Amino acid sequence: MDCTSVVIEGSDQVGKGDTVHDLSGIFLEQGISICRFSFPQYATPFGSAIRLFLKNGVGDISQLSDVKGKRREIEIRMMMFALDRLQALESILRLSDKERGVLLLDRGPYSNALTIAYGLSVVKKIANQDIVEMAKLGFEMEGYLIKSLNLDKCVIQLSANLGKKGWSSIRDGEEDQYEKKEIQEKADQAYLVFSELVGRGWKNIVTKENGIWKKRTVRNKEATNFLEERMALSSFKSSNSAKFESIDVLDIAKDMYGLDISNLEDVKEFYNALDRNEKNIIYKKGFSIGQYIANNCSTVVIKDKGVRESMYNILEKYPECLILLKEYYSKDFVEKLKEAIYE
């Protein structure tokens, strides 16, 4: 698909799902084909490993004991997310349908802002300069992804202005409320760095004022006005019926790992859980699927040179990522991955 990308970014509970859904409908109604993708992909080898690392941290992995509780532990999280996005890029670049359309991403490389902010759970004190440096690191290390999909041309960050009233409405204890507030502030700092790096291609839309939702129609109008300004939407209208595509674990498993997993019972239960937004089942079945892919692929194939080089650069600077994959899966899977990347 000859596409222009729209990236929807933002913290939790700011309306990303609603916005992605609404924009999808708006595009299709206007005769514009779309391809939709969500990050992270927890049912892939990289995505499942990310989930385990976020849940368990360094834990008892002796080879990573020297990074525990340090800034580098956050950077390793960032690089695992980057590898997850690169395996998806391999599938996106293989799309056979060359019809002009819009690639709509639910989160992208700028979600490193959240990875940095949530790093407060492992690194209690993060200086402002650390946030700036890590945001710039993420932008640099994901440069090929950003350039390949034009992810710096149209980014919509959804944000919430909770205000005193909004924060006081949170029902958790005072400590939890403080942590959430601090995490949002750190995420906002990182998002600000990304917005400055992207420049005119970045639009911040406030979806809540003092904790109260702005009208959905108002939010959507603000988004579509920005899209028209940046993309000239009318130029993407198809002479034929607009098409809707999505890329997910089925495509990634087939493209990069050579597996058809469509008939696996875990896959069916995973999709059912996605429909019902049952997080625990999503994570549990996602890991089972990621583990199945890692243990059953006979080879790993990465056709795109840029994807291979980007993965190589990450693993050279952050070999801890391979240690995690070996810990969660097997040495055999790591060797297959290295053979595909280092060829």
**Mean pLDDT, 10 residues at a time, the chain of 343 residues:** 80 90 93 91 95 90 93 96 97 74 94 93 85 97 96 95 62 53 88 97 94 93 94 77 89 97 97 92 96 97 97 98 96 97 86
- The CA-CA-CA angle for residues 118, 121, 127, to 5°, reads 75
**d(Cα 79, Cα 75) in Å, to the nearest integer?**
6
Residue 63 burial (CB count, 10 A) = 13
**Where does the chain have alpha helices with state H?**
16-29, 45-56, 71-93, 112-118, 128-141, 143-148, 163-168, 174-198, 216-231, 249-257, 265-276, 279-296, 305-317, 320-328, 331-341
pLDDT in tens, 165-207: 655 555 455 545 445 778 888 999 999 999 999 999 999 999 9
User: Could you tell me the maximum CA-CA distance found in the chain, to the nearest angstrom?
Assistant: 59
On the question of a cis peptide bond just before residue 40, with omega within 30 degrees of 0, the verdict is: yes
Helix (H, G, I), strand (E, B) or coil at 126: coil
